[in-house]
Amino acid sequence: MILELLFVVVVGLGWGIAVGSGFVAFITVLDIIPRLTQLTNAHQHIRKLEWALVSGALFFTLIDFFPIQAALPIYVTSLYGLFAGIFVGTLAAGLTEALNVFPIIAKRLHMDSSLLYLLMAMVLGKITGSLLQWMLHL
């Protein structure tokens, strides 16, 4: 029994280190945080953004381990959803900006002249999908 438990702990720690290292490499190699501060003009807050990213990853990892439930008012959960959406959106914007995803897609789809329409369609689709998921509890 103890040997099995030790095996599970070692495998779990190994996978955690692998996933954490991949996440850090992803953020570091692509310069997501510096690019995000450049896009948002928040160079003076770069350390706060880094600590927010680390703290958020650690907090939600702990939330995954322990089944914590909180019955919060709709206003609190709406505010949380707003901030989580802003975070994910700005992180995705920094990533796409670093990889030049949209100009490449527009060029391959021969939509160079209508890049703004492509971006707006993607943004509106994401907003619509998020609202439907939230409102319909999908």
pLDDT at 120 (0 to 100):
83
pLDDT at 80 (0 to 100):
86
Rounded Cα distance, 128 and 17, in Å: 36
pLDDT tens track, the chain, 138 positions? 888 989 988 988 888 888 887 777 777 777 777 877 887 888 898 888 888 888 888 888 888 788 778 888 989 988 988 888 887 877 777 676 666 777 777 788 887 788 788 778 878 888 888 888 888 877
DSSP secondary structure, 8-32, as one string: HHHHHHHHHHHHHHHHHHHHHHTTH
Rounded Cα distance, 121 and 117, in Å: 6
pLDDT at 81 (0 to 100):
86
pLDDT at 65 (0 to 100):
82
pLDDT at 99 (0 to 100):
65
pLDDT at 134 (0 to 100):
80
Q: Which 8-state DSSP code applies to residue 125?
A: H
pLDDT at 73 (0 to 100):
92
pLDDT at 126 (0 to 100):
83
Burial class (CB in 10 A: 0-12, 13-18, 19+), 22: exposed
Question: What stretches of the chain show up as alpha helix (H) in DSSP?
Answer: 2-29, 32-40, 46-65, 74-99, 101-108, 115-136
